[in-house]
């Protein structure tokens, strides 16, 4: 992206939590921001925060699992931003249950958002990057995409798939000057996903955050800003020779 003074980013799931932190961090770094989220009120709140940084922001609303809604939303965002330098596939959901108790509906729902969502946005946005022969994609995976964790069959499998997709795209897109990496968060608090996960864990008698933090070498849970900083690095020219990587941000919970 050498020579481009105004950079732009589209972030899915930016209405709260990690996605909101990414939008704020990138806006402070000089990016204009496109938000795509199912939660209209959350997206508008994030947009207001970006505007306070003096950056252009556009919000589109829809479900990443719907190809039609993705194509319409991406077209709206690209028209408003003018071009796309960075795509962050952050939207995701978490469901926990023992494998034999996981319904087909639950399995397909997790994959439709976590994996199909990234597929839909990549297929929609990458042609614009190919045309410009530059761009960066950051996919949100998980440490459970490197280690299968009990009670996380659908989520873990979808995140393993995200890492595989990241590596495939990195290999295919390199000739077009496009880098593709993934971020693998550990236990991140202050997010809607964590709130939902804690409720599920309590219902299933699984350990809560306070208990699990004791197993983390840095002895704390992560914050959305911990993830946002790594996304900003991967988007920057400082990471110009990095592609196909899946970067752990886990406080040492997972080290491979």
CB contact set of 89 (below 8 Å; sequence gap of 6+): 12, 64, 117, 118, 121, 122, 137, 138, 139, 140, 162
Which neighbouring-strand residues pair with 60?
36
Q: Which of 31, 61, 155, 241 is catalytic?
A: 155
**In 3D, which of 227, 7, 38, 235 has the Cα closest to residue 117?**
38
Which neighbouring-strand residues pair with 92?
none
Indicate the DSSP class of residue 237. Answer: G
- The angle, 0 to 180 degrees and rounded to 10, between the axes of the packed helices 153-173 and 116-132 is 10
Q: Are 181 and 247 in contact (CB under 8 A)?
A: yes
Query: For residues 79-89, b (16+ Cβ closer than 10 Å) or e, as one string?
Result: eebebbbbbbb
Rounded to whole angstroms, the Cα distance separating 70 from 83 reads 16
The yes-or-no answer on residue 61 being catalytic is no
- Helical H segments across the chain, by residue range: 17-28, 40-52, 67-81, 104-114, 116-132, 153-173, 192-204, 209-213, 224-235
Rounded to whole angstroms, the Cα distance separating 173 from 167 reads 10
Return the SS3 of 109.
Answer: helix
Could you list the active site residues? 155
């Amino acid at each position: 992206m050498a020579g481009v003074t105004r950079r732009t980013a589209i972030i899915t799931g930016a209405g709260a939590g990690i996605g909101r932190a990414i939008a704020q961090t990138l806006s402070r770094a000089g990016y204009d921001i496109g938000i795509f989220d199912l939660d209209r009120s959350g997206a508008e709140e994030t947009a207001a925060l970006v505007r306070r940084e003096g950056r252009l922001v556009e919000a589109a609303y829809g479900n990443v699992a719907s190809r039609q809604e993705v194509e319409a939303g991406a077209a709206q965002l690209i028209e408003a931003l003018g071009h796309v330098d960075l795509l962050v596939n952050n939207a995701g959901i978490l469901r926990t249950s023992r494998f034999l108790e996981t319904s087909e509906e639950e399995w397909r729902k997790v994959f439709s958002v976590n994996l199909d969502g990234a597929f839909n946005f990549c297929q929609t946005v990458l042609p614009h990057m190919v045309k410009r022969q530059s761009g960066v994609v950051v996919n949100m995976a998980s440490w459970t995409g490197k280690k299968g964790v009990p009670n996380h069959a659908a989520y873990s499998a979808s995140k393993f798939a995200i890492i595989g997709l990241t590596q495939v795209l990195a290999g295919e897109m390199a000739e077009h000057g496009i880098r593709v990496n993934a971020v693998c968060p550990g236990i991140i608090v202050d997010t809607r996903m964590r709130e939902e996960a804690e409720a599920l864990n309590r219902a299933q008698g699984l350990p809560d955050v306070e208990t699990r933090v004791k197993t983390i070498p840095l002895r704390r849970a992560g914050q959305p800003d911990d993830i946002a900083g790594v996304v900003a690095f991967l988007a920057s020219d400082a990471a110009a020779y990095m592609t196909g990587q899946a970067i752990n941000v886990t406080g040492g919970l997972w080290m491979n």
